[in-house]
Amino acid sequence: MGRKLTKSAGRVDLVAKKDKEDEEIEEEELMLIKKALETGTGAGVGAPEKPEGKAEGAGDGGGGGAPERPAEERKEKLTELEAYTFDANGIPVSIKIGRKSSDYVPQYIISIPMLAEGTKLILNAIKGDLITQVKLDITELIDPTKSREVRAKFERKANELLERQFHGLTPEKKQVLISYLIQNTLGMGDLEVLMSDENLEDIAINNPSESVWIYHKKHGWCRTNLYIRRDETVYEYAAMVGRKVGRQINVLNPIMNAYLPSGDRINATLTPISSFGNTISIRKFSRNPWTIPYLIEVKTVTPEVAALIWICIQNEVSLLSSGGAGSGKTSFLNAMSCMIPPNQRIISIEDTRELTLPDFLHWVPMTTREPNPEGKGAVEMIDLLVNSLRQRPDRIIVGEVRRQREAEVLFEAMHTGHSVYATIHADNAEECITRLTTPPISLPRSVLPALGGIIVQYRNRRSGVRRTFEFAEVTKNGTANIIYRWDPKTDEVKEVGQLSRLGELLSLYTGMTVKEMREDLADKIKVLKWMVGKKYFDINTVGRITADYYLNPDDVLEAAKKNKGW
Ligand SMILES: Nc1ncnc2c1ncn2[C@@H]1O[C@H](COP(=O)(O)OP(=O)(O)OP(=O)(O)O)[C@@H](O)[C@H]1O
Ligand SMILES: [Mg+2]
């Protein structure tokens, strides 16, 4: 076999589509591998990629840009931190996470046992035929409602082409090959594998000479053995994603924010704006959006704090979800929004769609739009906010408040009787108030009491621990009165203050005495703990139980007390 082929087959890295090396594989080489595959010699379909252990070297290279390390260091063994498998749209994937003592970050090593390097080469050759032979018009490609039909067309053709190339494939193996072809023609190639790993929070491509990075829930930032070797490929992925949601990325618009069909958020930038190359940063959202019972289960919030938030949501008290970058503000906002009563109209406003609410709620999601290349047609957050007031909302949810005008309209909306939920970037409740009242937002302190409470999320970068750090009410003077605060030493949430203004506000809205309010909170705690015990974590289930509770609280409470199913 030729030199290039040997080099390629000797590595486990999953080289991106149209990789230059792949393109250069000569016809003759392809025939050789094909023969080997058919006769069962060499690295056949289904044969393990390479003997165990060798894969560890895969992350070594660190890409073309990485400095050479001494040989002893490179040979050093990887200490395994974790290994697991999952299914990536029909492709079984094995992951090994390990670390060498000389490494600054762990390595995340992907292998696809059923897809040997040689097989991939053949598939990359078939890919071209697949694209040219499936007849599609552009509308089919960008219309999300047609994605199923398009996929079916590709599957049929892929099946045909594979039949011709490989004889005697088992149905399982054929399905894996079809899935790989689809992922490389309709999707973002090998990045799709990462998209299927539920343990990842972020995926980042920095430049062609560096491996793709991932942020793992347990291990933080890790290097992977996946490389996207060409800047053009990164651009193609970004442009493809943008087309589907009407966003553009090109020389004139080198920055793009969009979302994927899966709902995950994506940001792309082109060089020379990003100095080292085109970049893509993907924020993955949990496939099952977070709900309050699930956040209790994973100890992010206590039932006591959750019950207090619930009573606020039920009684139309406006709340802000605050925290540092990536602390879980949006996830928390989503979780609490599931508890909005179904007889209320919700308008949500976001730059990119992140929220998912129970499917029976009266909900109109709106997203902003960037201007076209002539600078026309932009729809900004403020436009949507002002517009939302004419859509007769009961509740307004805002993805993130950043600018003065947005904050002004938001507080205006609160003053005119709407309840508002939004995220804001601030590490604690005090800082949140400071952010609202100082430049660039500069709201007068006198408007702040329209806000009922501030919930602060915290994520420890080292341990990955996530906790609701504070729950504060906003006083009549526009300051923060912390009611609950998490103590990192004991990992406990302590009641550090007394409800004052929020208590008054709630009793004004509900007519409850302080004693009745305590009883109501105790009932809600009971219901929440019951939902946790029964593992009612899914958004529709949680949404329905909450909605049923608003209609017939006694029935739900009875079920909770007797620990019955719902
Ligand atoms: N309680 C939690 N436990 C574990 N993972 C969580 C939790 N809350 C959020 N996450 C995950 O953390 C990541 C960041 O969450 P999210 O986007 O909600 O944060 P954010 O504070 O809104 O970030 P940004 O500052 O980028 O807007 C997501 O992948 C999300 O699924
Ligand atoms: Mg967010």
pLDDT in tens, 255-301: 999 888 888 899 999 999 999 999 999 999 877 889 999 999 999 99
Each residue's pLDDT tens digit, 7-51: 333 333 333 333 444 444 344 444 444 544 443 333 222 333 333
| Any atom of ligand 1 within 6 Å of the Cβ of 356 | no
Question: Judging by DSSP bridges, how do beta strands 220-224 and 107-111 pair with one another?
Answer: parallel
**Is ligand 1 within 6 A of the CB of residue 286?**
yes
User: And the tokens for 470?
Assistant: 């504070």
Provide mean pLDDT across the span 445-465: 93
CA of 299 to the centre of ligand 1 (A): 14
Average pLDDT over residues 323-332: 96
What share of the chain has pLDDT > 70, as a percent? 87
As given in the structure block, the two tokens for residue 182 are 């689809």
Please report which confidence band the pLDDT of residue 115 belongs to, taking 50, 70 and 90 as the band edges: confident
Q: Ligand 1: which atom is nearest the Cα of residue 334?
A: 18
Q: Which of 320, 543, 539 is nearest to 422 (CA)?
A: 320
Lowest mean pLDDT among 10-24, 135-149, 537-551: 10-24
Which residues does 493 contact at the CB level (< 8 Å), separation at least 6? 302, 304, 305, 467, 468, 484, 485, 486, 487
pLDDT of residue 72: 53
What average pLDDT score do residues 533-539 get?
96
Ligand nearest to the CA of 425: 1
**pLDDT computed for residue 74 by the predictor:** 57
Select the more confidently predicted residue: 141 or 48.
Answer: 141
pLDDT band at 71 (very low <50, low <70, confident <90, very high): low
Which amino acid residue places its CA nearest to atom 7 of ligand 1? Answer: 328
d(CA 96, CA 107): 8
| Residue nearest atom 29 of ligand 1, based on CA coordinates | 201
Residue 462: strand, helix, or coil? coil
Name, in order, each residue with C-beta under 8 angstroms of 352's C-beta and a sequence gap of 6 or more.
257, 258, 259, 265, 367, 399
Ligand 2 center to 331 CA (angstroms) = 7
pLDDT value, residue 464: 83
Mean pLDDT, rounded, of the chain: 86
Cβ of residue 546 lying under 6 Å from some atom of ligand 1: no
The span from the CA of 405 to the CA of 472, in Å, is 24
DSSP-H helix ranges across 69-200: 71-75, 117-133, 138-142, 147-165, 171-185, 191-195
Please give the single-letter amino acid code of residue 266: I
pTM of the model: 0.76
At residue 153, φ and ψ (nearest 5 deg) are: -60, -45
Give the integer Cα–Cα distance in Å for 159 and 178: 7
Handedness of CA 424, 428, 430, 434 (dihedral sign): negative
Tell me the CA–centroid distance for residue 11 and ligand 1, in Å.
34
Q: Does ligand 1 have an atom closer than 6 angstroms to the CB of 324? A: no
Strand runs labelled E in 254-359: 255-259, 265-269, 279-283, 319-323, 345-350
pLDDT given at position 22: 40
Residues 24, 4: contact at Cβ < 8 Å?
Answer: yes
* Lowest-confidence region among 70-84, 141-155, 500-514: 70-84
DSSP 65-92: TSPP--HHHHHSPPEEEEEEEEEETTEE
Q: Is 314 close to ligand 1, i.e. is its CB under 6 Å away?
A: no
Which residues have CB under 8 Å from 319's CB, separation 6+? 309, 312, 313, 336, 421, 451, 452, 453, 454, 455
C-beta atoms surrounding 504 within 10 Å = 13
Q: What is the pLDDT of residues 161-202, one digit of tens each?
A: 998 888 788 889 899 999 999 999 888 998 999 999 999 999
At position 62, the amino acid (one-letter code) is: G
* CA distances from residue 468 to 199, 323, 478 in whole angstroms, order as listed: 21, 9, 22
Given a cut of 60, whether residue 59 has pLDDT beyond it is no
What's residue 40's pLDDT? 36
Q: By the 8 A CB rule, do 1 and 29 touch?
A: yes
